[in-house]
Amino acid sequence: MARMTAARAAVEILRLEGVDVAFGVPGAAINPFYKALKEAGGIRHTLARHVEGASHMAEGYTRAKPGNIGVCIGTSGPAGTDMITGLYSATGDSIPILCITGQAPTDKLHKEDFQAVDIATIAAPVTKKATTVLEAAQVPGVFQEAFHLMRSGRPGPVLVDLPIDVQQTEIEFDPDTYQPLPVYKPVATRAQIEKAIGMLLASERPLIVAGGGVINADACDLLTEFAELTGTPVVPTLMGWGAIPDDHELNAGMVGQQTGHRYGNATFLASDFVLGIGNRWANRHTGYRLDVYTEGRTFVHVDIEPTQIGRIFAPDYGIVSDARGALELFVEVAKELKAAGRLPDRTEWIQSHLARKGTLHRRTHFDNIPIKPQRVYEEMNKAFGRDTRYVTTIGLSQIAGAQMLHVYRPRHWINCGQAGPLGWTIPAALGVAVADPETPVVALSGDYDFQFLIEELAVGAQHRIPYVHVLVNNAYLGLIRQAQIGLEINFQVNLEFENINTPEIGVYGVDHVKVAEGLGCRAIRVTDPDELGAAFAEARRIAAEDRVPVVVEAILERITNIAMSPTADISAVKEFEDIATEPGHAPTAVIPLTEPVGT
């Protein structure tokens, strides 16, 4: 046994559980933990500029590679409350991160001490567990349990709150004999898988809906193998995008009222059986008209979390299982059926989906100045290639990106799916780039998302974390402006102002180039669509050579409406006309789902 502070014991457990990177901001109530972090060594720390930013960096770090667990650290009081958004985001998307906060001394709790807040109670609804440790001897057990909980069942975040006196108290702890607790994941039975496959074989036009659980379980190869064995097209959800390459014959495109592909929606509506694996039936995927989504189709739902089965609608059959465990059995049974000649020929169904995939596209090529956003995504597809990891959160930029970009590998679309907080993109991209510095990282933001946590660019400059950030600037809260069309208003969504220091950018207000450069980064502004490709290439070169974030700002036309469903019905997604409309007025053209928009 060894005698050490509880803070040092906690750091030793982090190392033994595989943690080698942490993100955070020190403060008085967490300084003993930081002292232990420094003295123990072996964990590289990245200093954030905002504690919420640290939590999103931890999210990005976790999402980038299988097995990663991001750690974020802050002091007492507002540091913990600042990280609540990151915990909510991680909970919503089943992402394990560990949040460690300092706390006032135990004898000052509930006495309204400076920066003392009951963070465990505040964090409880958005974590798998949140604990304020009142006895130093419990610190090793609490941290051991934290890693067990984060990895077991549906992954998710945990918060551990450490009063300063608890951190400083000496305890007995033996790192040499420490052992992580076994991880629990439910696994389907063969009988369950055989029944599900029987239902699939009885259908004529089956689909697989692959959610983020497939990626979390590192089961994408098994998913593709099962789809190929059975001839079943795959619809990835927004969180599952990349589970099967976009150009794979069996990738049927995404479905949804915002981030769906035209051909994906059409193929889904033509299906008669859906096998959902590791997905939540989120409303951005299903739309709010569940009767349209479910009518005429039989559903099997496989999910690691028992309470997800039947939460949105009752499937015809439900299986509680980790996606990898289920898919191993799906592949095993399918191989046996194939050897016995019992798998049906799906050629006709596959060809029909490929016909839709080959024609039902949105137009992307425009030569307009100011730039139309569709052209930005077209040029991104050309410039960044198959190895790129895209990182983004919410807004018309994300919705258009999901409709028009291409993703070919798991964990190469890193997106905050459920919470969608503005400001998430910059810190998350930094966390992704820290996790995998060898893979190109390209972030995508609208101007308002970019401005929320813009100070985190300085983290990239200080710590030499290169990535490319594509900023589409229309000086609007574009998604909210578009949502206001139905109310015939255009209110408090306009970011324009005449910048007296930068008259050349006109009403676009904030000079993002100067701000980025002032934070130690590099930036390029583009006003001509024909210059986008060269700007992206130059940004990649600068990022690689200078080892800093590089911003490419595309000055867009002020108003562009992106395809969405005003009726919340995936069969009636409105395809807006290819010209800008005046504020407060709905566009006049609606293109039927069965007709192509253009190329």
Residue showing tokens 């609540």: 84
pLDDT at position 503: 77
Residue 497, strand partner residues: 508
CA 16 to centroid of chain Cα atoms: 27
Query: Catalytic site residue 432?
Result: no
Mean pLDDT score, 76-103: 97
Those residues whose C-beta lies under 8 Å from the C-beta of residue 100, and which sit 6 or more positions away, are 10, 24, 30, 33, 71, 72, 73, 74, 159, 160, 162
Annotated catalytic residue, options 119, 159, 422, 562: 422
User: Per-residue pLDDT for 589 more than 50?
Assistant: no
pLDDT at 569 over 90: no
- The confidence score (pLDDT) of residue 587 equals 43
Least confident of 195-204, 230-239, 417-426: 417-426
477 is catalytic: yes
Q: What is the pLDDT of residue 593?
A: 52
Among 301, 325, 87, 155, smallest CA distance to 223 is for 325
Active-site position among 11, 19, 21, 25: 25
Q: At residue 93, does pLDDT exceed 50?
A: yes
* Residue extents of the structural domains in the chain: 2-177, 190-358, 373-555
pLDDT at residue number 592: 53
More confident residue, 313 or 487: 313
Give the least confident one: 74-78, 115-119, 319-323, 467-471: 115-119
pLDDT digits (tens, 9 = 90+) for 379-388: 999 999 899 9
pLDDT value of residue 581:
37
In whole angstroms, how far apart are CA 19 and each of 61, 385, 518? 11, 31, 33
Choose the catalytic residue: 354, 480, 493, 559.
480
pLDDT at 477: 83
- Is pLDDT above 80 for 412? yes
pLDDT of 452 strictly over 60: yes
Residue 581, helix vs strand vs coil: coil
CATH topology agreement for domains 2-177 and 373-555: yes
pLDDT in the model for residue 556: 95
pLDDT at 248 over 50: yes
User: Per the residue annotation, which of 51, 84, 360, 371 is the catalytic one?
Assistant: 51
pLDDT confidence of residue 417: 87
Give me the residues paired with residue 233 across strands.
none
Residues 317-345, mean pLDDT to the nearest whole number: 97
The pLDDT tens digits for 384-407 are 989 999 999 988 999 999 999 999
pTM here is 0.94
Q: Predicted confidence band at 339 (pLDDT cuts at 50, 70, 90)?
A: very high
**pLDDT tier, 100 (very low <50, low <70, confident <90, very high otherwise):** very high
What per-residue confidence (pLDDT) applies to 501? 81
Q: Which pLDDT value is given to residue 425?
A: 97
pLDDT at 582: 38
**pLDDT value for 588:** 38
Cβ atoms within 10 Å of 121's Cβ, excluding its own: 10
Q: What is the pLDDT of residues 459-518, one digit of tens each?
A: 999 999 999 999 999 998 888 898 888 888 989 988 888 887 877 777 788 999 999 999
For residue 583, pLDDT beyond 60: no
Q: What is the mean pLDDT of residues 547-551?
A: 98
Give the integer Cα–Cα distance in Å for 24 and 26: 7
CATH homologous superfamily of 190-358 equals TPP-binding domain (3.40.50.1220)
Looking at the structure, give the CATH architecture of the domain made up of residues 373-555: 3-Layer(aba) Sandwich (3.40)
Q: How confident is the model at residue 585, as a pLDDT?
A: 34
Answer yes or no: are the C-beta atoms of 94 and 154 closer than 8 Å: yes
- pLDDT surpasses 80 at 102: yes
CA distance 448 to 469: 14
**What rounded mean pLDDT belongs to the chain?**
93
Q: For this structure, is 51 an active site residue?
A: yes
pLDDT at site 351: 97
- Residue type present at position 391: V
Q: Average pLDDT of 452-460?
A: 97
Percent of the chain exceeding pLDDT 70 equals 96
Identify whether 160 is a catalytic site residue.
no
Tokens representing residue 356 in the block: 């839709």
Class of domain 2-177: alpha beta
* Whether the bond into 370 is cis, omega within 30 of 0: yes
pLDDT attached to residue 577: 63
Q: Could you tell me if 520 and 461 are in contact, meaning their C-beta atoms sit under 8 angstroms apart?
A: yes
Distance (Å, rounded) from C-alpha 147 to C-alpha 164? Answer: 22
**In this structure, are residues 253 and 264 in contact, taking their beta carbons and an 8 Å threshold?**
yes
pLDDT digits (tens, 9 = 90+) for 166-222: 999 999 999 999 999 999 999 999 999 999 999 999 999 999 999 999 999 999 999
Whether 330 shows a pLDDT value over 80: the answer reads: yes
Residue from 160, 319, 441, 477 carrying the catalytic annotation:
477
Q: How many angstroms separate the CA atoms of 430 and 63, rounded?
A: 12
pLDDT for the residue 580: 36
Residue 573 has pLDDT above 70, yes or no: yes
Mean pLDDT (whole number) for 264-293: 95
